[in-house]
Chains A and B, each alone.
Chain A
């Protein structure tokens, strides 16, 4: 049973979401503030965090950033659509996905499951891209022999890109493959994740040699060199 940490300051929303998510088959721990969340995630060790952005004190972005410093566990943000900037800042802080309030529990559940699926192993092989080694069976990525810690979403993105190595994938394609958003996906999710991924795997993130941007199309991972 997946274990979740729900961080939400409004008691009614917290209770309601806890009820709904429990009903969907999750084990839900809750936190009412950013500080509480930062303390709780170490003891609860959740598989995923559902994080409200608007929190009194330490806000959602800060919680996200602090957790990301050490952990790769997936984070889904709860935002308001009116605060478009929230989405951008949230994704930059390292969130894997976001849902807009008021959220349908079914939608949130689908997102949670999609994120959790990204960490699942697949039976495949090892591919080498320059200094980068992508082991699809062990679900690890290492650079010059040193393992790189990636979030499940980043890992899934690398896997999908390497599966279609040498082929440009559009943002909408990647949204379908990685995020499992089938319609009206937010392409900023892809852009933000690629940025984070580049920061981890490229020598010079500003001049990427592995994950290339294909203008007007999307992104491409170059095929392994001989």
Chain B
């Protein structure tokens, strides 16, 4: 009836785990760029789109420009060719195989008439040319074949220079006339166009990357904030909320986060108030129980004397006496536990000789002969002597109860910055599955035993008493058998209060 909710495990048992995990989280979070991260993926997508777009645009415009440029030059060159040939047609028709110098002159005339460089060729005659680097060899074979039939043209490179070569043959003497139109200026234009396009593409990619960064920030920053907020919420700051901006998907998630946090905060608050009221209830009940118990306790001694009468009511009276004392102890312990829960337990430090305190504690309970002491002459510490007495009485009481017939050993030692008080028995020790529960309220290692003399709160109160001193109470098994309980009290705290 009086159990204050589920048994709580002692505080601080797994507390050191938390900061380490948080640290790990933070480190993982701090890592700047993850290759598979959203940011990298977004940037890659933006860059790819920019690259593809600019490649397509510049490629198409290059091809179109080139085609129209070439068509235009073809047209004009063809007209020039025809004009030049027509102008010199008589001379061309007159050209004789004998006069080889004639072809050079003719080529010169054609160049004068139509510009460009010209190559003339006729069988058994030295070819005429206006440029030494150009000759009949420079004319591709299929153009030669085509030129013999009609006017033909071909674009090709001669010694690395691009040329439009227009060729034809004058009939009937079979003189072949080739007009070499240099495409170098056009090529330069096209090259410049390609170069500019490349620069434009590079700029476009840079801009798209910058845009990508901005866009990813727009998405990732709220995500980051959400992540931080979620972590803070998980760490226990239940009032954590995120700012909701705009009306996009991220804002939706933020809103959902806030609603979830609200709900969580509400449930936790409800749980806490339930817990607080159940604790208050325990405190109130204990308080109320104390008044009748005080009256009952006051007459137990008289009742005990009455058990001497010898009739059958004697055991009944004895039962009432024992159980009243047990109940009184339980109520006292419950009130002490309530004080710890409510945080109203007060620590009253004063300088006491710990060794004397231990002697007094054992004497007061008739345990002096049962405990082998290994203690210094004197050890003055600033502690709350009532609380230390409770701890020592619990440690020794447990050892005597569970230690069988073997000796109980109590040792006090100073191991800066701590003071250690150790109580060891030579009994069967603590069952392994009970080890982590021994400081829980109402925990009984041996369920079959059911009821013991204590309230079931003794060790948990002792634990809290050690805690309030800034110390620690631990229990375990000695490698050579038997249970060992160790009280650790920091010496540092002592000095501050001397």
Bound together, the chains give a CA A105 to CA B331 distance in angstroms of 18
Q: Does B360 contact A12, Cβ atoms closer than 8 Å?
A: no
Residue of A nearest to B338 (CB): A82
- Chain B contributes a number of interface residues (CB within 8 A of A) equal to 33
Residue of B nearest to A78 (CB): B294
Residue of A nearest to B360 (CB): A183
- Over the window 104-140 of chain A, the binary record of Cβ atoms lying under 8 Å from chain B Cβ atoms (1 yes, 0 no) is 1110000000000000000000000000000000000
B302 at the binding interface (Cβ < 8 Å) = yes
From known contacts A184-B385, A184-B386, infer whether A20 and B290 are also in contact, taking CB-CB under 8 Å: no
List, in ascending order, chain A residues with CB within 8 A of B298's CB. 13, 16-17, 19-20, 102-103, 105
Tell me how far the C-beta of B175 lies from the nearest C-beta in chain A, rounded to whole angstroms.
132
Q: Does A101 contact B299, Cβ atoms closer than 8 Å?
A: no
Which residues of A, 156-193, contact B by the 8 Å Cβ criterion?
171-172, 183-184, 187
Q: Does A184 contact B346, Cβ atoms closer than 8 Å?
A: no
Q: Does B386 contact A23, Cβ atoms closer than 8 Å?
A: no
Residue of B nearest to A216 (CB): B351
Residue of A nearest to B293 (CB): A102
- Chain A contributes a number of interface residues (CB within 8 A of B) equal to 25
List, in ascending order, chain B residues with CB within 8 A of A19's CB. 298-299, 302
Tell me how far the C-beta of B142 lies from the nearest C-beta in chain A, rounded to whole angstroms.
117
Residue of A nearest to B335 (CB): A82
Residue of B nearest to A82 (CB): B335
List, in ascending order, chain B residues with CB within 8 A of A104's CB. 297, 300-301
- Over the window 325-364 of chain B, the binary record of Cβ atoms lying under 8 Å from chain A Cβ atoms (1 yes, 0 no) is 0001001100100010000101010111000000011011
A66 at the binding interface (Cβ < 8 Å) = no
Q: Does A216 contact B498, Cβ atoms closer than 8 Å?
A: yes
The SS class assigned to the B binding surface is: helix
Tell me how far the C-beta of B393 lies from the nearest C-beta in chain A, rounded to whole angstroms.
11
Bound together, the chains give a CA A210 to CA B299 distance in angstroms of 45
Tell me how far the C-beta of B475 lies from the nearest C-beta in chain A, rounded to whole angstroms.
25
Bound together, the chains give a CA A131 to CA B419 distance in angstroms of 48
Q: Does A183 contact B363, Cβ atoms closer than 8 Å?
A: yes
A10 at the binding interface (Cβ < 8 Å) = yes
Residue of B nearest to A20 (CB): B298
Our pick among A13, A23, A84, A171 for the contact of B346 (Cβ within 8 Å) is A84
List, in ascending order, chain A residues with CB within 8 A of B389's CB. 184
B5 at the binding interface (Cβ < 8 Å) = no
B296 at the binding interface (Cβ < 8 Å) = yes
Residue of A nearest to B301 (CB): A105
From known contacts A82-B339, A102-B328, A184-B386, infer whether A20 and B360 are also in contact, taking CB-CB under 8 Å: no
List, in ascending order, chain A residues with CB within 8 A of B291's CB. 10, 12-13
List, in ascending order, chain A residues with CB within 8 A of B294's CB. 10, 13, 16, 101-103
Q: Does A13 contact B301, Cβ atoms closer than 8 Å?
A: no
Most buried by B among A17, A80, A183: A183
A15 at the binding interface (Cβ < 8 Å) = yes
List, in ascending order, chain B residues with CB within 8 A of A102's CB. 290, 293-294, 296-298, 328, 331-332
> Other CB < 8 Å A-B pairs besides A10-B291, A82-B335, 18 of them?
A12-B295, A13-B291, A13-B298, A16-B294, A16-B295, A20-B298, A20-B301, A23-B301, A23-B302, A101-B290, A102-B290, A102-B298, A102-B331, A105-B299, A106-B301, A184-B360, A184-B385, A184-B389
Residue positions of B touching A, CB distance < 8 A: 287, 290-302, 328, 331-332, 335, 339, 344, 346, 348, 350-352, 360-361, 363-364, 385-386, 389, 498
Residue positions of A touching B, CB distance < 8 A: 10, 12-13, 15-17, 19-20, 23, 80-82, 84, 101-106, 171-172, 183-184, 187, 216
List of 4 A-B pairs having minimum Cβ-Cβ separation, nearest first: A16-B298, A12-B295, A102-B294, A102-B297
